[in-house]
Amino acid sequence: MRGTVAEHWKPARDGKVSCRLCARKCLIGKGERGFCRVRVNEGGELRVLNRGFAESLGLDPVEKKPLYHYLPGTLTFSVGAPGCNFDCLGCQNHTLSRPDPGWPGVARPVPPELLAEKALETGARSFSFTYSEPTVFYEYARDLGLLALEAGLPSIWVTNGFMSPETLKSLDWVKAMNVDLKGFTEDFYESVTGGRLEPVKENIRNSREMGIHVEVTTLLIPELNTGERELNGLTEFLADVSPDMPWHVSLFRPMREQRHLRTTSREELLFARSVGKKNGLKHVYIGNIEGRGYGDTFCPKCGTLLVGRSGFFVRENVMGKDGLCPECATPIPGVWGP
């Protein structure tokens, strides 16, 4: 038998299994794999193949996730394992997220205890599940996350937001999320990601209600998700969830099957930020491009510079643990200290 028994599934008819891990809810026949390529039906039992396979590791600024209102200026120990429940046309990590159908080969799993120990040695202040889609390496992420939490390192979930409701409910040990809201039409999601929009919207709202710190990122792809109508719908939705929720708009560079497209212009990024501000979002950031003030956090009431950034690095931070603007005492939602 390959792998270990998966979670969030149930038996179905004719020896098939119904995976309940994400909103795709794959019905998997005997010997077959789910869309993510890392869950397989072995004799009527769903088994997970990527548990323990930490194939991408890094020590990153937390701003790289990106999270700007969660422990700014600190380092996060980042882990990625193979597999994804999307198949984005422009994915920059497709060799990790879409492993060969014959994977795994002879690679050996890395014990979670070893990674938790390494994270502590680096001086990281948090543990991030990132680089691919953590939902599809849920079991390994939980193994690591609970060990890290015992050692005082909170967990960050960098995700496409396409998990099932039952999986989201089981992520009560996760303290912060960055969710990719990739566009705001079902046509975009179907043609560009192979997924659906509505589950992502529901999970953004429900994650906030669970008390998880949530920030949202949208990669702006010219002519595909940069129209004013779509940006209005997206930012009105985010502002309805919470006007305090940070929104990151990022520059797109042609990759994979989208090499024929152009790079996002500075004007398109600035326009998206203006739409978000107009629709009530208090904290809108521009990423993947240098620009004065693009990554700075300001008090939305008095305009005081609270956290100044250059790229992913913090150059100044006047926020205290109390989360109040030091000039006017306006509360700035986020986690600003341990």
Listing DSSP states for 28-89 in one string gives E-TT-B-TTSSEEEETTEEEES-TT---EEEEEEGGGTT-SSBSTT-EEEEEE-S--S---T
For position 107, what pLDDT does the model report? 62
pLDDT by residue (tens digit) across 116-145? Answer: 999 999 999 999 999 999 999 999 999 999
What order do you get walking across the sheet with 305-310 strand by strand? 297-298, 305-310, 313-317
- Are 337 and 69 in contact by the 8 Å Cβ rule? The answer is no
pLDDT by residue (tens digit) across 181-234? Answer: 999 999 999 999 999 999 999 999 999 999 999 999 999 999 999 999 999 999
pLDDT by residue (tens digit) across 240-284? Answer: 999 999 999 999 999 889 999 999 999 999 999 999 999 999 999
Q: What is the mean pLDDT of the chain?
A: 95
Q: How far apart are CA 317 and CA 320, in angstroms?
A: 9
Q: Quick one: how far is CA 24 from the chain centroid?
A: 17
| Two structure tokens written together for 234 | 């997206």
For position 34, what pLDDT does the model report? 97
Q: Indicate yes or no: pTM above 0.95.
A: yes
Instruction: Find all residues with CB under 8 Å of 193, minimum gap 6, and list them.
Output: 86, 87, 88, 89, 160, 182
Q: How far apart are CA 47 and CA 33, in angstroms?
A: 9
Strands 155-159 and 126-129: parallel
Name the pLDDT band for 84 (thresholds 50, 70, 90): very high
Residue range(s) in the chain whose domain bears CATH number 3.20.20.70: 56-317
Name the pLDDT band for 109 (thresholds 50, 70, 90): confident
Q: Looking at the domain covering 56-317, what would its CATH class be?
A: alpha beta
Instruction: Find all residues with CB under 8 Å of 187, minimum gap 6, and list them.
Output: none
CA distances (Å), 40 to each of 26, 30, 94, 294, 335, in order?
Answer: 11, 8, 20, 44, 39
For the packed helices 112-122 and 138-150, what is the interaxial angle rounded to 10 degrees?
Answer: 50
Which residue's entry shows tokens 């739409």? 275
- Are 16 and 45 in contact by the 8 Å Cβ rule? The answer is no
For position 216, what pLDDT does the model report? 98
| Two structure tokens written together for 261 | 């497209």
